[in-house]
Amino acid sequence: MANLKKFLVRRLLTFIPTLIGVTLIVFVIAYVIPANPAKAWAGGEKASEEAVKQIIAEYHLDQPWYDQYWFLISGLATNSIIDPRTSNPVMGDISERFPVTFQLAIIAFVFILLLGLPLGLVSALKRNTWVDTIVRIFALIGVSTPIFWLGYLLLYIFFVKYRITDLAGVPPSPPTQIFHVPIIDSLLTGHFTIFKQHFARFWLPGFTLGFAGMGVLARFVRNSFLEAISGDYIEFLKAKGVPKLKVYRHALKNALVPIVTVLGLQFGSLLGGTPITETVFSLPGMGSYAIDAIRNLDFPAIIAITFIYAIIFVTTNLIVDILYAVIDPRVRY
CATH number, domain containing residue 317: 1.10.3720.10
pLDDT at 323: 80
CB within 8 A of 138, min separation 6: which ones? 119, 214, 215, 218
Total number of domains in the chain: 1
Residue 31 domain flag: no
Res. 1: pLDDT tops 60: no
What are the angstrom distances between the C-alpha of 245 and each of 105, 242, 249?
32, 8, 6
pLDDT at 47: 78
Res. 9: pLDDT tops 90: no
Q: Give the 3-state secondary structure of residue 89.
A: strand
Residue 212 domain flag: yes
Query: Which has more pLDDT, 217 or 324?
Result: 217
pLDDT at 321: 79
Residue 43 domain flag: no
Res. 274: pLDDT tops 80: yes
Containing structural domain, residue 104: 98-290+310-327
Query: CA–CA separation, 300 vs 66, rounded Å?
Result: 14
Query: CA–CA separation, 312 vs 307, rounded Å?
Result: 9
Residue 207 domain flag: yes
Residue 15 domain flag: no
pLDDT at 115: 94
Residue 5 domain flag: no
Query: CA–CA separation, 91 vs 80, rounded Å?
Result: 9
Query: What would the pLDDT profile of 147-185 be if each residue is shown by its tens digit?
Result: 999 999 999 999 888 888 877 788 989 998 888 899 999
Q: Is there a contact between 304 and 96 (Cβ–Cβ < 8 Å)?
A: no
Residue 23 domain flag: no
- The reported pTM is 0.90
Residue 320 domain flag: yes
